[in-house]
Amino acid sequence: MLAYRDWSKSMRMLLWIGVLFTMASALSSAFVNVFLWKQTKSLLALAVYNGLQYSMMPLVFFVASRLYRVHRETYLRVGIFLHALFYGLVLWAGHRANPYWMGLLLGAGTGFYWYGYNLLSLRLTESRARGEFSSWTGMFGSVATMAAPLISGFLITSLQGVGYTLVFSLSLGFFAAALVVSHWLDPVEETELPMPVFRRQHPNWNRVLMGNFFQGVREGVFVFFAAIMVMITTGSEWGLGKYTAVNALLSSLSFFAVGKWLRWRWYNESMLIGSFLSSGAIALFLFEQNYKTIMLYGMITAIFTPLFAVPFAARAFHVIDEAHERYEREYIVEREIVLNAGRVLSIASFISTYRYLPKEWIPAYLLLIGSMQILAVLVLRSVGFRLKKMWEDA
């Protein structure tokens, strides 16, 4: 593993761009869902808002991958700019903000950002430092996610009427800072013509795609459901801020421990433990749904998700490395399409369950889709690698 001081300048800048972006998003993203929920009092409206985001992201990935001779950092900057535009329009529209255009715009911004970020991560990070880069990103991102909701929750609760305006304005400031830092990245130009997608022949790649699909099904609804449950049970943005901050602190410590002590040969066991315990925490929703239950669910998920997330991401990138660097754009696009297909399916099934089945079925539905993460591990644990010498001593 490489120490931080041995990383390249662009690798360090990419880390801090990720931290600033996470801080900007964490200040407002959960509270945008709350903002919409307060207007509509409808979980279905939130599901549509998040579903439109997931639908736009793979479309943007595909369109961006068809472009030629565009610097990879340009996609990153476009994504950050569209996020800033989103919050600027929300500030302008206020309570007239529509979940449909909001979901489409934020989905486009998220697609451009993560397309650029993923490609830059592949090109700028060294293979022997990739696991450490992922853990540092997760750790600092968790610290940002811990501080931001406390600030947001306190401001919104204390400054009734202007709290949301101030919080969304702070997000604009952090997005602007991320744009400035992005100018220190070394230019990485796309010089290869785009190739057709879903034509890869590597034997492990279909397993990676299947694992990402199951993970997408797991993520779809839980992006917004827990936050809204906190609001329903507490009626306070400050309660949501505390919930998010506690979980982010635990997640940060867990990411640090995973990055420091987890070794490649333990990846299968780590993913299995992380997926079983974070999925099992959803069973708490089968019992009384109060603030303590939701907090316990969040804490278990925060502690054990990094055991799954770090090896999961590292394996996907190493399959791409091992397969063929020439097609890295196509691999990224394929993974994003499949991941978001799982998320959209999750949202669609939630809408159907919520509209047509008794509400008592919702906890069982959550447990079912939450268990999809276990299937992702069972698929990926059989992925083999021609391990390079650098892993032999890990």
- Residue 132 sits in a domain of what CATH number? 1.20.1250.20
Buried b (16+ CB within 10 A) or exposed e, 172-202: bebbebbbebbeebeebebeeebeebeebee
Which residue type, as a one-letter code, is found at position 253?
L
* 265 within some domain: yes
Give the span between the Cα atoms of 242 and 147, in whole angstroms. 10
**Domain total of the chain:** 1
User: Residue 323: its pLDDT value, please?
Assistant: 63
* CA 323 centroid distance within chain: 25
Ranges of residues in the chain whose predicted pLDDT is under 70:
1-7, 125-131, 189-193, 200-201, 322-327, 382-394
User: Residue 130: its pLDDT value, please?
Assistant: 65
Q: Could you tell me the pTM of the whole model? A: 0.80
Where do the H-state alpha helices sit in 357-380?
A: 362-370, 372-380
User: Residue 2: its pLDDT value, please?
Assistant: 60
CB 171 within 8 A of CB 25: yes
* 394 within some domain: no
Which residue, 166, 151, 149, is CA-closest to 34? 149
* 4 within some domain: no
* 1 within some domain: no
β partners of residue 71: 189
Which range marks the domain in which residue 377 is found?
Answer: 10-384
* 393 within some domain: no
* 232 within some domain: yes
User: Residue 109: its pLDDT value, please?
Assistant: 94
Give the span between the Cα atoms of 149 and 275, in whole angstroms. 26
* CA 98 centroid distance within chain: 23
Give the span between the Cα atoms of 164 and 185, in whole angstroms. 33
User: Residue 107: its pLDDT value, please?
Assistant: 92
Give the span between the Cα atoms of 66 and 332, in whole angstroms. 13
| CB atoms closer than 10 angstroms to residue 307 | 26
* 244 within some domain: yes
Two tokens at 257?
A: 């421990």
**Which DSSP symbol is given to 286?**
G
* 390 within some domain: no
Give the span between the Cα atoms of 278 and 307, in whole angstroms. 10
